[in-house]
């Protein structure tokens, strides 16, 4: 199984997954990082780890449809079998979704179906919830609505700031995502 990780930003979850592939804790091969922001820190992480990386923007392609067609071409060039989204801040459209049906998973920093979309941690914190969570799920045509693979609650403590809560959510992501990805890849191999 050749796996691509799609990311948009800093790349901490990308690096955690890359280490798990390197240590053979995950089945398959991490063949590609794709980032939709050429200057994002995740690109430097990929270079440091020796992982092939490609990057271009929607704007440089002239629109979403052309962008997705070009991205699908890149995924085919690298013979990608499975995709893991790690802070990829774009909705995946039908061009890629149809080609990789049930073979794209996402990490979301909330206990879905609560707080889909952007700024999930901040919204849960602002609503003074007792807890939030982390969800790993397959993606479908909806927004953070695909079948759930794994979830874990993260308490919101009375002493929390947004920064301390984000730190605990990220710790949970770094533990839960490799486990859930392993489960999804093993299922795909059988």
- The annotation places the binding site for (6R)-10-formyltetrahydrofolate at 64, 106
Binding residues: 11-13, 64, 106
Residue 42 parent element (H or E): helix 41-49
- Tell me the angle at which helices 41-49 and 12-22 cross, rounded to the nearest 10 degrees: 10
Q: What is the DSSP string of 145-187?
A: -SPEEEEEEEE--TT--HHHHHHHHHHHHHHHHHHHHHHHHHH
Contact 3, 16 (CB under 8 A): no
From 20, 37, 108, 170, the catalytic residue:
108
- 108 given a catalytic annotation: yes
Active site residues: 108
């Amino acid at each position: 199984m050749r796996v691509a990780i799609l990311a948009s930003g800093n790349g901490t979850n990308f690096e955690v997954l890359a280490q798990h592939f390197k240590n053979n804790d995950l089945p398959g091969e991490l063949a590609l990082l794709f980032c939709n922001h050429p200057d994002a820190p995740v690109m430097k992480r990929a270079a440091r780890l020796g992982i092939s990386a490609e990057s271009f923007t929607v704007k440089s392609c002239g629109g979403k449809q052309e962008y997705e067609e070009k991205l699908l071409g890149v995924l085919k060039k690298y013979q990608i079998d499975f995709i893991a989204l790690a802070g990829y801040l774009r909705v995946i459209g039908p061009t890629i979704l149809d080609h990789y049906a049930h073979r794209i998973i996402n990490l979301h920093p909330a206990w879905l179906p609560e707080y889909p979309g952007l700024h999930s941690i901040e919204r849960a914190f602002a609503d003074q919830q007792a807890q939030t969570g982390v969800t790993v799920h397959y993606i479908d045509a909806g927004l953070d609505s695909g079948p759930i693979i794994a979830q874990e609650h993260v308490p919101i403590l009375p002493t929390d700031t947004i920064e301390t809560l984000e730190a605990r959510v990220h710790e949970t992501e770094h533990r839960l995502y490799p486990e859930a990805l392993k489960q999804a890849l093993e299922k795909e191999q059988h």
